[in-house]
Amino acid sequence: MQIGNIEFRPTLFTTVIAIVVLCILLSLGFWQLNRADQKSRTLEAMEATLGVPEVFVDSIEFFSENKRFRHVSIKGEFQAEQQYLLDNRIYKGQPGYLVVTPFKFGSGNGWLLVNRGWVPLGLDRNILPAITVKTNQTTIAGVISDLPGKLPSFGIAATPETSRWPKVVRDIEIDQISQQLGYTMPPIMLQLEQSHEAAYIQNWQPLASGPDKNRSYAIQWFAMALVLGIIYIGLNCRRHKSSAEEE
């Protein structure tokens, strides 16, 4: 293609490379926009619960509908013998675990996972932290949340299954946990209030950052795609001398 004395003659190699990189940049941009939209909906759900009084829950049926970010209180018992340590959780730059403990309530027919908070990783990963908890009747309070997001594996195999407790897990797989414990649990978690005696360090946040950050990332990816297009055109354009210039 030629416009005036400028001829656009792309090579197959540069065209293929440009298309592949352009698709990657655009997909990253749209992914960031999608994350921003998800976070906006999360913020709307949080705002909808503001001012809603704390509710006492005595039946598992309460969680049959979406109760995210509701403040609840529950009376029951912790299951001390079967607990989970959610691995690779960072607090103030230090690696550690989230202590996740099953909680029985509602005349024994309701079960819920409770995030009791963060504990540090010891000097030896083979020595697990002591995470004892009283098993007497107690009333706990906190916020209902989704299960923690899954961490990227980077090709690393999950922690091998063992018979010992507590179990160290990379992610909370609710179906697998229900099978291990022998009772069905809803796919949610209670974030235990820091004031309870069973709580460790509570640093749960519904969002690590707001949607504006993702939108700014999206703009950067789209800008890089634009720059790539300009470079591609520039590298594949040739200027031919006119007859007057040749004379």
Residue-wise pLDDT for 80-94, tens only, equals 999 999 998 989 989
Angle at 91 (CA atoms; ends 72, 172), nearest 5 degrees: 55
Angle at 84 (CA atoms; ends 79, 90), nearest 5 degrees: 135
Q: Taking the CA of residue 217 as centre, how many other CA atoms within 13 Å lie in the half-sphere pointing to its CB?
A: 16
**pLDDT at position 50, please?**
64
Greater confidence (241 vs 70) lies with 70
For the question of whether the overall pTM of this predicted structure is more than 0.75, the answer is: no
Which structure tokens are listed for 242?
């006119």
Greater confidence (46 vs 188) lies with 188
Q: pLDDT digit string (tens) for 28-42?
A: 999 999 988 888 887
Query: In this model, does residue 2 exceed pLDDT 70?
Result: no
Query: In this model, does residue 77 exceed pLDDT 90?
Result: yes
**Identity (one letter) of the amino acid at 45?**
A
**pLDDT at position 154, please?**
46
Query: In this model, does residue 141 exceed pLDDT 80?
Result: yes
Q: Could you tell me which of 193, 174, 187 has the C-alpha nearest to residue 117?
A: 193
DSSP conformation class of 140: E
Average pLDDT over residues 11-34: 91
- Indicate the SS3 state at residue 122: coil
Q: Are 75 and 105 in contact (CB under 8 A)?
A: yes
Average pLDDT over residues 141-169: 72
Query: In this model, does residue 156 exceed pLDDT 90?
Result: no
